[in-house]
Amino acid sequence: MPFPRSGRAAQTLSAAAMSALLLASAMKHFRDPAFYRQVVPGYLCRDDDPGRDAAPARPLALLSREEWIALSGLLELAAAVGILVPGTRKVAATGTAVMFTAFLAGHADALQRAYGPRGTRAQRKVHTVRLPLQAPLIAWAWSLRRPAAGARP
């Protein structure tokens, strides 16, 4: 016997799981920001060290590395809340998929540096895993945009 609300229940459970993952990640941004330092591309970061010689102009360098980490933590927190609320889920899930897609640049940059001359074996392991994990996260977030089977329009 089919359960008429099973599609809606599965969608709600999936949204709750994504929200919990985003919330845990957002909290880690503030408890352990060093974990995210390597995945913030240098070309996005302002050079806030007044003792250094002037670096070449970087037009995308709007924030410091720490500010980017805090901002992405706040975005993940907002996404976690938005995905939980059925009325904002589609917009929040779209934004989350876009956010995860944007994070690809940082993960690719970190992977490239990990395999560079100053990269370590541990960095190579971590970033080799982190980059491909973005694909299922993007697909998962995107799947939350669809209304649950059996949901009323």
Per-residue pLDDT reduced to its tens digit, 31-58 = 999 999 999 998 888 876 555 555 566 7
Query: In angstroms, rounded to a whole number, what is the distance separating the alpha carbons of residues 143 and 95?
Result: 12
Q: What is the DSSP letter of 30?
A: H
Is 141's pLDDT higher than 80?
A: yes
In the chain, pLDDT over 70 holds for what percent of residues? 86
Write down the pLDDT at residue 57. Answer: 64
Q: Between residues 76 and 8, which one has the greater pLDDT?
A: 76
Q: Which of 12, 27, 15 is nearest to 142 (CA)?
A: 15
What does pTM read for this prediction? 0.82
Q: Which of 105, 83, 96, 109 is nearest to 137 (CA)?
A: 96
Write down the pLDDT at residue 110. Answer: 93
Cβ atoms of 81 and 19 within 8 Å: the answer is yes
Is 70's pLDDT higher than 90?
A: yes
Per-residue pLDDT reduced to its tens digit, 82-116 = 999 999 999 999 999 999 999 999 999 999 999 99
How many of the other CB atoms lie within 10 Å of CB of 85?
Answer: 12
The values of phi and psi at residue 63, to 5°, are: -130, 165
Burial grade of 1 (CB within 10 A; 0-12, 13-18, 19 or more): exposed
Identify the three-state secondary structure at position 102.
helix
Write down the pLDDT at residue 61. Answer: 84
From its phi and psi, is residue 41 left (phi > 0), alpha (psi between -120 and 50) or beta?
A: beta
